[in-house]
Structure 1
Amino acid sequence: MIVKETPFIDCFIIEPKLINDNRGSFLLNYNKNEFNKAVSKDIDFVLENESISKYGAIRGLHLQTGKNSQAKLVRVISGKILDVIVDVRPNSNTFGKSFSLELSSKNNIQLFIPRGFLHGFSVLEENTIVNYKCDNYYNKDSEDGVLYNDLELNIDWKLKKDEIILSEKDKKLKTFKEFIN
């Protein structure tokens, strides 16, 4: 696998090697030994989630707080998303900054997101399947988040306003200012 840095410390783009032959293709998505050597030896994924979403859905911006925070390894099995992260690590030089990257079943790129980041994605193709591993279990009491359209963050989700589909829960998230105070 090829590991590339992002503008954020400890956050990486991972490009697995794709092997094509006359039968089709083969892709090794995850190898714990290689991952630990290239990215972090402290990560032990314990949970794997998968969502199927309609075009225009935005999921996020979410995170788990405190001792329940989660690092994630995100990939797209089918379709395409714009994956978005926001650094909310209090002592980080990139605190409050966002980064986005298109992940698709065509480019096979994965994004490793360390603990301390808001995470969300917009769905850019119908029936997109997103899979992500987490290094900590989900805890309902530790969930938090920020509105996708927060003016301070000013994230371009690559969707028109009338195309956006949100959950009721995501419509009620905090502003970034509320979140950090």
Structure 2
Amino acid sequence: MTTQFIASRSIVASMLMALFAMTVTGCGSSRYTMVDPPKQPVSNFEVLEIGDFTSALTDQDSQGLAGRFADQLHAAVIKDREKKPGKSIFGDVVRATDRSDKVLRLDGTVISFEKGSRAKRYFIGFGSGKAFCTIQATFTDKANGQQVLKANFDGELSMSFFGGSAEEAVDSVVKAFIDYFSDYFEKGGPSG
């Protein structure tokens, strides 16, 4: 075999792997909407404390999501901070702290979670069998218990070549939180 033939095969193989990776991932979207806009600047706080999440829904999937979401969000925020050093509203992001001064506490509630139908997303697509998730987050001044803001964070997965996983909708909710924090940092104040 010639060197040119081997190089061509490598390029074709790389392109096929990239195409496969794109078809395996789904078409997800995320957004956040303010329920109660900020009553004071979030930048007044040095620490974000992410509390355990709860579920307003009683099904096992929603309860399971609520049980693991705070850790998933915390890990994503830490990873985002590592990728963008110096571009964070908060000096520290923790799961728990004894400190109360200048601590913004985040408590969340799963208010909707639907795994949808992977088969419908695969065979029909175009929004059929959509997976979605909404978490309502309340941010509270830990020192005085006053609500600072309340927002809904939504994620959905509407289609994917292989149907995608409902977990991609949850990942989109995590992305919505990261987007809010990034937007707030970039604008230097409330966004909504």
**TM-score bracket for the superposition, by shorter chain length:** under 0.3
Considering only CA atoms, is the larger Rg found in Structure 1 or Structure 2?
A: 2
TM value normalised by structure 1: 0.24
Q: Name the structure with the higher strand share.
A: 1
TM value normalised by structure 2: 0.23
